[in-house]
Amino acid sequence: MNTIKNILAIAIIAVTAFSCKNEVQPEVKTVETAVEAAKTTLDPNATYAKAEFKIEGMTCAMGCAKTIEKKMAKMEGVKSATVDFDRQLAMVEYDEAKVTPANLEGTVTSVADIYKVKDMKTVEAFSKKECKADCKKDCCKNKTEAEKKACAKDCKKACCTKEAKA
């Protein structure tokens, strides 16, 4: 009986000691990041070029592609940057006075040594995703309305556009 009283007393002391913590909520502060500051200082009179290039060595959409995309977007003079993991394609709009294609390539390769830039070219408009279905087999015929609209939105092939509107 004495041991039960001792165990009960220790349990009560332990519960009391550990439940009386002074829990203070952390203070939340909003801080302007460098990306936000850079985006507000873009020169509206600057000459912007668009570049597309392949990135080899990416193994995942969230880790690889998003990391590269964020690094390029943070560069001074970059208006927009998008990395499409599925096509292994980067599309960047940048101020020609502040950024060069060599700078873009350097930023990509600085993220990790495994990334390689290939086929860099300046374009008038970014390429769209090609429709993966074969147009000769009525690619949009058996799709739902949502799939038809998505196909028409991203596809350059006439069959997808016609079928999606029909």
Residues 3-49: pLDDT tens digits? 998 998 898 888 777 665 555 566 666 665 555 444 556 777 788 88
Give residue 57's Cα distance to chain centre: 16
Q: Give the tokens for residue 109.
A: 């390769």
Q: What is the pLDDT of residue 54?
A: 92
Sign of the C-alpha dihedral computed for residues 54, 127, 49 and 83 taken in this order: negative
Q: Which of 72, 71, 64, 55 is nearest to 116 (CA)?
A: 55
Q: Domain segments of the chain: what residues?
A: 34-123, 135-165
34-123: CATH topology: Alpha-Beta Plaits (3.30.70)
Mean pLDDT across 100-126: 87
The amino acid at residue 86 is D
**pLDDT value for 122:** 81
More confident residue, 59 or 164: 59
- Average of per-residue pLDDT across 106-135: 77
Which one, of 158, 101, 105, lies nearest residue 135 by Cα?
Answer: 158
Q: What does pLDDT average to over the chain? A: 75
- Cα-trace Rg, the chain: 27
Distance CA 149, CA 139 (A): 12
* CB distance 155 to 161 below 8 Å: yes
How much is the pLDDT for 63? 83
Q: CA neighbours within 13 Å on the CB side: how many for 131?
A: 25
Neighbours of 143 (CB within 10 A): 17
pLDDT-above-90 percentage for the chain: 17
d(CA 122, CA 125) in angstroms, rounded, equals 9
Cβ atoms of 84 and 118 within 8 Å: the answer is: no
Q: What is the pLDDT of residue 1?
A: 79
Q: What is the pLDDT of residues 133-143, one digit of tens each?
A: 544 445 556 66
Interacting residues of 54 by C-beta distance below 8 A, sequence separation 6+: 88, 89, 90, 117, 118, 119
Structure tokens of 154? 């991203």
Mean pLDDT of 149-158: 58
